Chain A
Amino acid sequence: MENRSTLVRNYNFMLRGSQTLSSNYLIKQLPKATVFLNKRLQVVHASDSWVDYFHFSNDIVLGQNISELFGEISKDWKTVMNNCLKGKPSNVGVERFMDHENKEKWFEWSNIPWYDENENIIGIIIQTDDITTRLQNEIKLEKLEVLLREKSEIAKIGSWEYDILKDEISWSDMTKAIHEVPMNYVPTIEKGIDFYKQGYSRNTISMAVNKAMENGTSWNEKLQIITAKGNEKWVIAAGKPIFKDERLIGLIGTLQDVNDQVLSQTKTKENEHLLKTLIDHLPLNVFIKDKESRKVLVNKAECDYLGVKGPEEVLGKTDYDFYDEETANTTREDDLHVMNSMTPILGEERGSIKKNGDAITFLTSKIPLIGDDGIAYGLVGISMDISNLKQKEEELRDLINVTSLQNKKLVNFAHIVSHNLRSHTANFSMLLDFLIHEKDEEEKQNIIGMLIDASDNLLETLENLNEVVAISTNTDLEKKPINLNEKLKTVQQNLAAFLLNNNAKIVNSISDDVFVKVVPAYIESILMNFITNGVKYKDPERDPTITLSASSNNGYTIVSIADNGMGIDLKKYGDKLFGMYKTFHDKKDSRGIGLYITKNQIEAMNGKVMACSEVGKGTTFNIYFNEKD
């Protein structure tokens, strides 16, 4: 400013001294942008630098009013110029204008009055300085400062600076806020270190500061401080030495409050640990699968269940690696259903077969994992092996079946007994009643004869019933493997005369190595009964042929005895075929007891018997001998 006034005074002097064309020329060459205005604010002289700066044209400038040149000028400047004309001291101001490229530019102006030789004010001398760059830098700096402050507030990062020479430390406002000290607090480096929690934190920071001062190293540590208000806080303390001319002159650093993050991290870790402990020790198989049904998490129970040592043997694999294909197909279908429909499967029973052939039943639940985009990205599975339960349940059901079957048989038997005994006693009672009132001697003899018949019938019935009872009660008869063909030979020999008389033929396709596990006494009776039946109920049109064959299926040896006899309408008589005292043919010697006893014997050996028949063609009995128990 001092320089500038001197310069202007010099111009004035020069101009006053010689108001010639040469002075005009002198002004033209002034290095600083300068313009001379007359009292009407019209340009009288202008330096080339001024004209260039504003990109005016030399011809237009001279004689032009300053306001017209700039289009418009600020009120402030106008006032200053008017004051200047009145001899009032000049002022400095800033003015904005748009240059020829329409760019914003800023210039600083200074005005002084223009005197003639008689010290009369004849105009104004104005000098301008381009301050656009300076102004822009100032704005930038201001912005940066604001930004830094904002950042430090948001990230809770404070800063500090330590001057070794003065042994002075200064804390930023945020650093003070983190320490919870008042804004007028005056820290020292020792007090700063004392804020750190005794033990690891304080030791670490002390050592870091010492090392920095001695070796010029920097530090960055996560430590705990105890604030002025006694609160424990996690902070990230960082610092580094500053050198000037290779000499350590101080330290600067930052302090970031990371308490919330550390606490939430710790909490998350605790939760994770809790969850993992829980999942691992649940007595249920827990797994997480991704979209492709690959397992991405398995717990201990699942590993044990799959027979692997650790999760690393399972992760990334699918059910196709552990189960047979059909099982894996089913589980994959379930997975897809759960993920596509986004509805869980809860507690459903599924059977599966492992690669080693073990069949397992389990209760499974699958819950879709739904992402932020509303699409399932996997599923959580929980399953429980209920094979043992299932087996127990089946055993129980079998037991119930056996019991209810036996109960049914018992009731049925009770009715048979009651019916058969009642019919005989009824006959006795009736015949005796006749006998008492009968006068005719011949008729008396007749009635007595019938009484004897009734008595014989009763005895026979009792014998039959006894036979049935013996089979049903003798539950622990020992089963032995018996060669079927040897037994057949014996039966055939016993029936030789009967077969010969009926012209019967036996066709046996059973191979000599077929054994059946049976009660020896029963097998003979069973074979005898079926063969006799087949011959007895022969078709009158043809000689009887009995065809025997054997096969094996599902733990049973199945012996088929087929005849070409008259057959039986199973639709009509099917449910009575094996009933007691049921006969279906008008044959003198059919007692209706044979099949009943045979069936009881087969069932006593845990077997079963089925029949198929066609009237006029023949009947086939399939006898299932249980080979397991």
Chain B
Amino acid sequence: MKKINSIYIVDDDPITVFGIRKMLDSIAVCENISAHGNGKLALDDIKKSLNSDGQVPEIIFLDINMPIMDGWQFLEEFISLPLEKRVRINIVTSSIDPFDVNNWNLYKSRTDHIITFNNKPIKRNHLIEITKAA
């Protein structure tokens, strides 16, 4: 499997972060996995690295319901960032609210980045599938 340079996990639930990180470790696809408690923290980090080494995550695991800045607000700002490479964003949520599915379709149509919608819990096999560089 092709190595991924950097993966972001954006979620305020430590158990989910633990789970995703553990599964990613087990498939040993990436050395550089970082967790961010909400959308704002993740966005700030991305902006910071854009300004320094230009290193942005290739894959983002994104929760929707988070304090301060939720998944949608994060996406809104993220898709307007001047990125050269396509990024894969995997939405990981326990929501089955049709509103969220609609929102996903909306954002998908507005950007070149790959956005997938995944319900918790994520199985290992499924995770392997969605952990490929865009």
Q: For B122, give the chain A residue with the smallest CB separation.
A: A430
Selected from A418, A429, A453, A585, the residue in CB contact (under 8 A) with B68 is A585
A430 CA / B126 CA spacing, docked (Å): 13
Are A419 and B65 neighbours in the complex by a CB distance under 8 Å? yes
Decide if B121 is an interface residue (CB 8 Å cutoff): yes
Of residues 38 to 82 in B, which have CB atoms within 8 Å of A's CB atoms?
38, 65, 67-68, 73
* Complex contact B122–A586 (CB within 8 A): no
Chain A hits for B112, CB < 8 A: none
- Judge if B5 is at the interface, Cβ distance under 8 Å: no
A572–B73 contact, CB under 8 A? yes
Interface residues of B in 84-121 (CB under 8 A from A): 94-97, 119-121
A450 touches B67 (CB 8 A): no
- In the bound assembly, the distance between CA atoms of A419 and B67 in angstroms comes to 15
Partner of A586, one of B13, B18, B68: B68
Please, which residues of chain A bring their CB within 8 A of the CB of B73?
A: 572
**In this assembly, does B15 line the interface, its C-beta being within 8 Å of a C-beta of chain A?**
yes
Contact of A582 among B18, B22, B37, B67 (CB under 8 A): B67
With both chains docked as a complex, state the minimum distance between the C-beta of B69 and any C-beta of chain A, in angstroms: 9
- Report A343 CB to chain B, min CB distance, Å: 49
Determine if B67 and A453 form an interchain contact, defined as CB atoms under 8 angstroms apart.
no
**Closest CB-CB distance, A529 to chain B, in whole Å?**
18
| Chain A residues closer than 8 Å to B19, beta-carbon distance | 427, 430-431, 434
Known: A415-B95, A422-B120, A423-B94. A450 touches B18 (CB 8 A): yes
**Which among B37, B65, B67, B94 is the interface contact of A426 at CB below 8 angstroms?**
B94
Q: Is B6 an interface residue (CB 8 A)?
A: no
The smallest C-beta distance from B57 to any residue of chain A, in angstroms, reads 21
Chain A residues contacting B15 (CB-CB under 8 Å) are 427, 430-431, 450, 453-454
Q: Given the complex of chains A and B, what is the CA–CA distance between A415 and B122 in angstroms?
A: 20
CB contacts (< 8 Å) of A418 on chain B: these are 96
Chain B interface secondary structure, helix, strand, loop or mixed?
A: loop
Interface bin, chain A: 20 to 34
Contact B94 A583 (CB under 8 A): no
State whether B120 touches A423 (Cβ < 8 A). yes
A584 within 8 A of B: yes
A to B contact number (C-beta, < 8 Å): 64
Contacts of A572 in B (CB 8 A): 73
Q: Is the CB of B65 within 8 A of A427?
A: no
Contact B121 A430 (CB under 8 A): yes
CA of A423 to CA of B122, assembled, Å:
11
Q: Which residues of A contact B122 (CB under 8 A)?
A: 430
B68 touches A426 (CB 8 A): no
Q: Which of A408-440 contact B (CB under 8 A)?
A: 415, 418-420, 422-423, 426-427, 429-431, 433-434
**Given the complex, which residues of A lie within 8 Å of B37, measured CB to CB?**
586
How far, in Å, is A289 (CB) from chain B's closest CB? 57
Q: Is the CB of B121 within 8 A of A429?
A: yes
Least CB distance from A51 to B in Å reads 131
- Given A427-B16, A434-B19, A572-B73; A419-B121 close (CB under 8 Å): no
Question: Is A581 interfacial (CB 8 A cutoff)?
Answer: yes
Q: Decide if A583 touches B67 in the complex (CB within 8 Å).
A: yes
Tell me if A592 is interfacial: C-beta within 8 Å of chain B: yes
Q: How far is the CA of A445 from the CA of B14 in the complex (A)?
A: 16
Min distance, Cβ A28 to any Cβ of chain B, angstroms: 139
Give the chain B neighbours of A415 by CB distance below 8 A: 95-97
CB nearest to A592 among chain B residues = B67
CA gap between A590 and B96 in the complex, in Å: 25
- Using Cβ atoms and an 8 Å threshold, which residues of chain B touch A582? 67
Q: Are A419 and B68 in contact (CB under 8 A)?
A: no
Complex CA gap A434/B38 in Å reads 25
Contact A423 B96 (CB under 8 A): no
B123 to nearest A CB, angstroms?
A: 8
CA distance A254 to B94 in the complex (A): 111
Find out whether the CB atom of B67 lies under 8 angstroms from the CB atom of A586: yes
Q: Give Cα A436 to B61, complex, Å.
A: 25
Contacts of A423 in B (CB 8 A): 13, 16, 94, 120
The answer to whether B121 and A426 touch across the interface, beta carbons within 8 angstroms, is yes
Structural contact, B22 and A422, CB atoms closer than 8 A? no
Which residues from A are CB-within-8-Å of B67? 582-586, 590, 592
Q: What residue in chain A is nearest B16 (Cβ atoms)?
A: A427
In Å, the complex CA distance between A606 and B13 comes to 36
Residue ranges of B at the interface with A (Cβ–Cβ < 8 Å): 13-16, 18-19, 22, 37-38, 65, 67-68, 73, 94-97, 119-123
Give 9 closest A-B pairs by Cβ, nearest first.
A426-B120, A583-B67, A423-B94, A422-B94, A426-B121, A430-B121, A427-B15, A430-B19, A429-B121
User: 4 extra interchain contacts, Cβ-Cβ under 8 A, other than A430-B15, A430-B121, A434-B22?
Assistant: A415-B95, A422-B120, A453-B15, A585-B68
**Can you offer 17 A-B residue contacts whose CB atoms are under 8 A?**
A420-B94, A422-B94, A426-B94, A426-B120, A427-B13, A427-B16, A427-B121, A431-B19, A433-B123, A453-B14, A453-B15, A454-B15, A572-B73, A583-B68, A585-B68, A586-B37, A590-B67
